Amino acid sequence: MGAFLSELEVTLTEKRQSGRAVFRLEKDFAYRIGDKKGDHKWIATMPAGEETDFASIPRVFWSIAQPAGKYMRAAVIHDHLCRRSKSGISRWMADAIFLEAMTTLKVPCWKKYMVYAGVRLYAWWAGLK
C-alpha cells in the first residue's frame, strides 16, 4: 500500500474553478505509490505553487461526497497526476493511484468506490484514456 510522505499545506486563492474554491500548495506534497507486494516503486510529488480544487465533485452530489472529504489528500495527488498525462501517465493509471490513495486514507469502501466510479465515468465521457 502507498503512503503520504508529507503534510498537506494549502492557501485559499481568489480563483474559482467551475464555482469551486481553488487552493495553492504552500509546500511540496508527496505520495509514495505501492504495489500489491508492498514494494514502493515511485513517488508522486506535487510541487509547491501548484493549485487544486480538491475533488471535482458536481454540487448536486455534495450531500453524498463533498470536494474536501476524507479523500481530500488523494484528490490533490490525482489532480497532479492528471495534469502529468502528457508525460506518460495515463488517466487510467492516475485514477488507479487515486483509488489506492483513498484506501491508504481508510476512506470507507462504499465512498471510495463511488468516487472512483465518478472519475472513471468522467474519463470515459471525456474520452480520456
pLDDT at 30: 93
Burial class (CB in 10 A: 0-12, 13-18, 19+), 46: buried
Q: Would you tell me the crossing angle of helices 91-104 and 109-126 to the nearest 10 degrees?
A: 170
| Cα distance between residue 123 and residue 76, in whole Å | 17
Using one digit for the tens of pLDDT, what is the confidence trace for 15-46? 887 777 889 999 999 999 886 565 657 888 89
Domains of the chain, residue spans: 3-126
Ranking 36-40, 76-80, 120-124 by mean pLDDT, the lowest is 36-40
Q: Give the residue, 91 or 18, on which the prediction is more confident.
A: 91
Q: What angle do CA 2, 4, 9 make, to 5 degrees?
A: 160
Stretch 43-72: mean pLDDT, rounded?
77
pLDDT at 66: 66
Nearest to 98 by CA among 90, 61, 86: 90
